[in-house]
Each structure stands twice: as C-alpha cells, then as structure tokens.
Structure 1
Amino acid sequence: MGARLALAFALAVTAGPGAAAPKPPTRLFTDDAPIHIALKGALARIAATPAPARTAYPATLSLISPTAEQHAVQLSPRGLARRTKTVCTFPPLRVEFTAKPADTSLFERQHRLKLTTYCRVTAGHQQHVLLEYAAYRLYNILSPISLRARLATVDYVDQDGRGTITRTGFFAEDPGDAAKRNGLFEVKIIARVAPSAIDATAEARAAMFEYMIGNLDWSMRGVHAGESCCHNFKLLGATANAQSGLIPVPYDFDYSGLVNAPYAVPPEGIPVPSVRVRRYRGYCIHNAQALAVAAEFRTKRGELMAVLSTTPGLDEDRRRKASAYLDDFFSDIATDADVTKRLLKTCIN
C-alpha cells in the first residue's frame, strides 16, 4: 500500500495546483479476502428485463461475513450480450444503495457498484468468473491506477419464492474511487480521443496487458454517438477536464482469451479466428514505450503468475491452462526483438 500511495502522491504533486490529494481506498477494496452476501429481490424479473432497458427494482443486500449488516438497494441489469438468453440465464448487476452506508460499514463511501454475477449455474461458468476476477488482480500488479475487485459468495434470493442460488461473483471498484485514491479525476469525453492525448506509457502498458490476457473487446478512443468515451476503458486525468496526459483504465475482461468464456467471439473487423489468438492493438506512436513496458512485464512475471495460484476456487485444470496461456505471452515478449517482430507489426496508427 505504501508504494501505491507514494505513486499517487507523486502524480498529484506533478499534476499542478488543480490536482486532488490522494484519498485512501474505500473499505470494500482494502482487502482481498472474499466476502459473503445475500441479495433478495425480484431477481427473476430483473433477469427477464430485455436489453437495453435498465429497469431498477428495490432489493436488500445483506452482508453475512465478515460482519453482519443490511442495506436497502436498487438492482438493475447491466450489459447487452450477457442479457441474451442463449448466452446467459442471469445478467450482471448494478447495485445502487438507496441510503448512504454508515462510516463503519464495509460499504462506506459506496453509492453504485458493478457486480459480476454468474452467467449460467454450471461449475464451468463459475471458473470463468474467477478468471475474470484474476484479470483485475493482474492489472493491479502492473499499475495502482487500476480498478480493484472484491470476490464474493452471493446468495441470490428471489422474493417471488423461486428459491435461492449461491454462486461466486465479484464487485468492481468504481472508477471515480480509483481516481480519488490516485489523486486523479475521472474524465468524461463525448468525442473520439486522439492517441496523442493519452499518456504514452500508460497506453502502452494497458495495450500490453490486453494483449497478455488476449482481450480485443476494447477501445481507448472510440465512442458511440451520445456516449462517453470509451469502450471497456475509463480515462483518468489530472483534472476533470483534462485534454492531455489521459490515463486509460481497463475493465470487463470476459471476452478475453484468458477467461475463454463459451460466448466470447472476436470483435467484428479484427481478423483472428478465436479470442484465444492474441493481436496487439496499441498505438504505433507509443512503440518505444511498448518496448519499455514489455521489460516491466518481464520483471513482474513471478508476481503475475502467482495471481492464478492464489485465486480462491480456481480449479487446477483451469489454473494450469491459464498459466500456459500466460507463458505463451512471455515467450512473445522474451526480448525487444520478439516484441518488435510479434507485437508491434500490428500496432494501430
């Protein structure tokens, strides 16, 4: 934690007089120990809500361990693809607290949280959830300017009497909270972002990470009409209106080759046969920084590989296959010559 806070302080100092002082992380994301919660509400109706509607329903969130507490919340479905019944039977959720949690609560300073839920009830789908959780932890090792995640056992209790389902899920840190603990601001831009506006080293690191986990479902620049940039990335800056030095923060990794979810397919227009096939999509103007961050990755190989062996509930077969997938990545970046030959040739202008 000391190193993280030191970096955040350095960022705040160098950003100038408009910068914010770093804040400590929220209590929910100061620990990696799994928690146990129960969600009670109209879960069947939430699951049946057609995309893209995000109808919210009143519900109760009960913390079972490490301590007992209860909160009134609003639950709404998130996402698009995972709300297709042929893909998943239950959607990811947005959990919104209707009253401010007490300062003593595990959920202090939380207002709205994303909860990654089960897609289907099978054990195999639980492994996909755990691998996506592991992807967040991998990026935490590479940069403190990243979203933390908290693993949870979740009891889904349908208030209409359809029974209880218990499955593994995880909460993802709010980007605004990640910005605050790094002395930064979340920057919302409704426009296409120029690569030159993005911090070169941060962009190269994020693009290298996405290559490592085999994720193609993202854009640091693109934007759909009327929506804030970007796709599966948030931008942080020294001020809320920053136009340069933007730091991209990735999230949502279920379409990655590391997770290898059965519904994951490569994005249209990217010529690879499956999500397990990597393709580098960093910006060519940052190729020098890509070589530098590849060296960073090599020095952190042990820490990164250890994430898989310390992910609770990940079975040995999945851990072995995921480790082999990361080993292939490290072969790709073994030397600067390998990075140039295998990655940088597909960089984006």
Structure 2
Amino acid sequence: MTKFVLPIFCFFAFSFESLAQHDFDDLYESNATFKDYIESNMADYQLFGKESVMEIEIKSDFKKLNSKKDTSKYQKAIIKYAFNDTVTIHRKIGIKARGNFRRETCSYPPIKLNFPKKKVKLDMLKSFDKMKMVGNCQSGSSYEQYLLSEYYVYKMLNILTDSSFRVRLIKVNYYDTGKKRGKVESQRHAFIIEPTKAMADRLARHIDENTSFHYGQFPPENRHLVTLFNYMIGNTDFSILARHNMKIIMPNEESNYILPLAIPYDFDYCGMVDPPYAIPADILPIDDITQRLFRGPCEPFEDYQPTLAKFQSKKKQLYDLIDSSNLLTKNTKQRMTGYLDLFYEILNDEKRLKKELGVNCK
C-alpha cells in the first residue's frame, strides 16, 4: 500500500545556516545532509495524517486567475513554506481555476495545484501530480465559516469510514503579482483534498471512469453509508450511478474485494454548510437546501440496520469533532450541532425514519 507523503509542505527541525532560499529538488539533489534527512524521515511527513494547520504562500497572478477563471490551462505560480528559521523552500507549480458552479459564482474560485512530475528527483514524489485546493468563495468571516464547515463535513465522513477523501487544513498567504504592490495581498484558510489516485492506492484500489454500474453492485455497507451520510448533512447534489460528485474505485487484481466503492466529495452544497448561493434543484420536492431528502435506493428497511447502528456508534465522535474546534464560531457550532440533532431525532423515530427512507427513494 502506498503511503502518500509530501515533503514540500513539511517542517523540519534542523538548520542549514548557509542556505537561504531553495527549490526542493535542487536542495535534495545538491545537499547530502538534506537528502539523507528526507529519505530517513519520509514516514513522519504524511500530508493527510496530520491535524495541524499548515501555513504556505502561493505567488501568482491571482488578479488574472480570479477574473478569467480559465480551466483550460495552468498559469505559473510559486509555492513556498518555511523549512526552518533560516531556510525557505520554494517550488515552481502551475495553478488554474477548477469546479463548475463555484468557479462561476465565487470571487475566489477553487484551485487545482499542478506539481510538475518530470522535475521531481525524489522517487516517492514521482507519482504525485495534481491536487485540489478549496478556499473561501468570497471574502469575509461568514465565508470563512462556510469553508470550515465543509472541511469538518469531510472529517465527519472520515470518522464514519476510511473509504473517503482525506483533507488537510491550510492557511494560505496569497501573493498577487497582478497587483502593483509587492506584498502578500491576503491570508485565508483553505483545505487540500487527497488526490484520487492517492486515495485509491491507500485502499488498494484503482480509479474507474467508464464502467456502468447499478446500485446492487456496490456493497451494502458502502451504498447505504454514502446515501445516509448525504441525508445526514442535507446533500442532494450527488449521484452514485451518474458519478456526480462521486468517484468510483475498483479492486486491484491482488485484492480480495470484488465490488466497486463509491467515494463522495464536494459538500458545500448541503444543509449543514448552508452557504447563501446553495439552492435545491428545481426537480426536487424541497424549497430550501436545509430540508433533508433521502436520495438512496429503495431497499428493505431492515437492510439499513448495520449502517444505522454505525451512525449511532459514531455519534459522540461526530459531535466532539465540532465541539472541539477552535476555528468554528459559537454560532457555527450551534448551527451544525443543531442540524445534527435533527438527524438523530429522525434516527431514533423508527416510524418517521421508515417514511423518510421510503417516500423519495429511487
């Protein structure tokens, strides 16, 4: 199983007093001490195994990126992080706008980071390529809270299953070369999403882009958890079979698994986050994004019992995740836990739950 590591973002605890600013690959190739340290400590720097907030700087023409929001090609950028008190590591990358609705709606579109593979000297980084970064849609503290809410929704899914995308919270200093003043123009939180290939490798699987599936081909514990999780967070903006905000991964040949897995992502358009731009699709029988609507397959209620039991067993961890955050405001915590309260009220009312799972199932 491949462990996904990313030394370009990591912080180390020894000094190179004679060094000032370096590209990671140049430093790795030219400095034996640096190279030995990296190679002997790779296991300590798993990007998605840490909970601390990383701080980085991205330098690029954000004025151009934010105005054109071009998804067809990457523009030049430099990413930097503090190696220690005396050394700053930088890497030349490409960035471009990504996403559909948010790219058209937001002043600051989501970004895809492209790390050129051909120049990578370290073998363990050669499979690393592109990574999605989600930032604030608009400026202001309220949009910061929407972003953090979505981040914690990803973390809630991580609590319920390992078959999910991992995320890492970062604080980004944006240095806009498109503006005259040469300084960091803004600092905002963002989060990066585990690349699909890295997620699939972690689960001993590979990505499937083209095979047609029906619900019955997905393991019950997978299809039930995905649909009930989206019901819990109030998300209707997904489809397993149409692969809308969904990745499908298949077992590797050496794996004992024989069925595909559905892995959901992109949770801003849900009631638990509730951003002002999110509205339900016209075809749905709900008027507000905070109204829950079950979008799973029609199956006997008894078949859902193992998954319902999992939601009950993980209840405390889900609440603790929100309550323990020092980034969410008191109002955001109350809104998210209140929304969770309503979900567990339904779970504890068998008659109501049977109706919810049966009326709008597919």
Bin for the TM-score computed over the shorter chain: 0.7 to 0.9
CA deviation after TM superposition for structure 1 residue 265, in Å: 0.7
- 1:116-160 CA-to-partner distances (Å, cap 9, x unmatched) read 011111110000000000011000000011100000001111112
Cα displacement (A) at 1:335: 4.8
Measure, in 1, the Cα distance between the counterparts of 2:127 and 2:326. 26
Q: Distance in 2 between matches of 1:318 and 1:324?
A: 10
Aligned residue in 2 for 1:70:
90
Q: Is 1:234 aligned to 2:255, yes or no? A: no
Q: Give the superposed CA RMSD.
A: 2.4
Structure 1 position 256, deviation (Å): 0.6
Aligned twin of 2:40: none
User: Is 1:290 paired with 2:304?
Assistant: yes
User: Which shows bigger deviation, 278-287 or 53-62?
Assistant: 278-287
How far apart in 2 are the matches of 1:198 and 1:35? 36
Aligned to 1:95: 113
Q: Tell me how far apart the structure 1 counterparts of residues 309 and 49 of structure 2 sit (CA, whole Å).
A: 29
Is this contact kept in 2: 1:199–1:244, CA < 8 A? no
Q: Following TM superposition, by how much is the alpha carbon of 1:336 offset from its aligned partner in structure 2, in angstroms? A: 4.2
For 2:143 and 2:317, the matched residues in 1 are separated by 26
- 2:100 aligns with one of 66, 80, 83: 80
Task: Report the Cα offset of residue 68 of structure 1.
Answer: 4.5
Tell me if structure 1 keeps the 8 A contact 2:69–2:96: no
- Residue 65 of structure 1 and its aligned partner are, at CA, apart by 7.2
> Residue 276 of structure 1: CA displacement?
0.3
Secondary structure at the aligned position of 2:244 is classed as coil
Q: Is the 8 A contact 2:219 2:260 kept in 1?
A: yes
Give the Cα separation in 1 of the matches to 2:83 and 2:227.
37
Q: Distance in 2 between matches of 1:272 and 1:257?
A: 12
Deviation of 1:337 (Å): 3.9
Q: Take 1:127 and 1:47, find their aligned partners in 2: how far apart are those partners?
A: 21
Partner residue, 1:7: none
Amino acid at match of 1:24: K
Contact 2:248 2:262 in 1 (8 A): yes
Which residue number in structure 1 is paired with residue 158 of structure 2?
140
1:23 matches 2:12: no
Q: Report the CA distance between 1:239 and its aligned residue.
A: 3.4
From the superposition, tell whether residues 343 and 175 of structure 1 become closer, same or farther in structure 2 (CA, over 3 Å): same
RCO higher in structure (CA 8 A, sep ≥6)? 1
**In structure 1, distance between residues paired with 2:215 and 2:228:** 15
Instruction: From the superposition, tell whether residues 69 and 337 of structure 1 become closer, same or farther in structure 2 (CA, over 3 Å).
Output: farther
1:253-264 aligned at under 5 Å gives the runs 253-264=267-278
Alignment correspondent of 1:15: none
Kindly provide the CA deviation profile for residues 183-205 of structure 1, in whole angstroms up to 9, marking residues without a partner as x.
112211264x3112222220100
On the 8 A contact 2:204/2:252 being kept in 1, the answer is no
Q: Which position in structure 2 is the counterpart of 1:122?
A: 140
Give me the whole-angstrom Cα distance separating, in 1, the residues matched to 2:294 and 2:83: 42
In the alignment, which of 206, 212, 215 is matched to residue 235 of structure 2? 215
For each residue in 1:232-251, what CA deviation from the matched residue of structure 2 results, as whole angstroms up to 9, or x when unmatched?
A: 010112138x9962111110
Q: Give, in whole Å, the separation in 1 of the partners of 2:279 and 2:115.
A: 34
**8 Å contact 2:64–2:178 — kept in the other structure?**
no
Q: Give the secondary structure class of the aligned counterpart of 1:59.
A: strand
Cα displacement string for residues 60-106 of structure 1 (whole angstroms, at most 9, x for unaligned residues):
1112478943211100101122222xx3211000000024656599x
Larger Rg: 2
Amino acid at match of 1:297: F
Gaps of at least 5 residues in structure 1 are: 1-21, 223-229
Counterpart in the other structure of 2:189: 168
Q: Please say which of residues 25-34 and 42-51 is displaced more in the overlay.
A: 42-51
> For 1:334 and 1:70, how far apart are their aligned partners in 2?
52
Q: Does the 8 Å CA contact 1:257/1:277 hold for their aligned counterparts?
A: yes
Contact conserved, 1:208 with 1:290, CA < 8 A, in 2? no
CA distance change for structure 1 residues 326 and 108 in 2, over 3 Å: closer, same or farther? Answer: farther
1:272 maps to which residue? 286
Q: What is the CA deviation profile of residues 256-291 of structure 1, one whole-angstrom value per residue up to 9, with x for unaligned ones?
A: 101101100112311111110000111114754323
1:197–1:48: structure 2 CA closer, same or farther, 3 Å change rule? same
How far apart are residue 296 of structure 1 and its match?
0.8
SS of corresponding position for 1:284? coil
Q: Which amino acid aligns with 2:340?
A: L
